[in-house]
Amino acid sequence: MNHVLTVTVLLALASVAAHAQPLCSSDGQPHPTAILERFINADCQACWGDAHTPRPARGEVALDWIVPGSRGDDAALSAAARQDASDRLAALQLAVPAASDIRRQKSMGDAGPLRVARGLAINDYLGGLIELAQPLPGRWSAWLVLVETIPAGVEGTPVARNLVRNVLQLDWTVGPKAGSEPLVESRPMQIPEGAQPARLRVVGWVQDARGRIRGIAQSARCAEN
């Protein structure tokens, strides 16, 4: 990604950070109280169309990870598979499923104000932002995931999905003086081939050193011109 494009993408995101485009951020959106992560092995095409796929409970946000399979590029779902999914399984200390697996985690909701945002798509990139306004002391792990929201009945899925398309993972350390400075990161995020920009949004959360989720935020969909 060249320097000019990087600057352009981040300038587009700056308008979101300044609240100029509230529909692209988590501003005014309800904060999820839990995350339902659904992992599908890329070899298992039937898993994508499984009518018994667990649905999110009230207050949960679902994330759909496609894990690289043993067949590599020949796997049925290889086009959507990401190494990030394998990394997420490792972070959760879970094995790669032969077919599919799920993990549910509730948020303690005590991390302080958490905000996420995305900018407009420009040349296969968009800017992603995550901000923790009043961080508590300690070590934090922040995740910002770019998801494509696919409605039920579209592209062969019987359930609505938030297909993970890109991931930004950060490690933050906060000194003993809590709430002194906000923790914020904004970076360009590549839009994978085949993803539809109009269906993209971001979901973010923060975890403590013990892996407990302390806060979750999700953006609304961003209207594309």
The stretches of 29-151 forming alpha helices (DSSP H) are 45-48, 83-91
Tell me if the domain spanning 3-218 has CATH number 2.60.40.2550.
yes
32, 62, 57: which is closest to 218 by C-alpha? 32
Q: What is the pLDDT of residue 224?
A: 55
- Phi and psi torsions of 15, nearest 5°: -65, -30
Q: What is the model's pTM?
A: 0.89
Intervals of the chain under pLDDT 50: 4-5, 7, 11, 15-22, 225
Which pLDDT score is estimated for 221? 75
Q: What is the CA radius of gyration of the chain?
A: 17
For position 24, what pLDDT does the model report? 84
Tokens of 200: 């993209």
Distance in Å from the first CA to the final CA of the chain: 23
Residues facing residue 184 across a β-bridge: 131
Beginning with the edge strand found earlier in the chain, give each strand of the sheet holding 200-208 in spatial order: 100-106, 34-41, 60-67, 161-174, 138-150, 200-208, 213-218
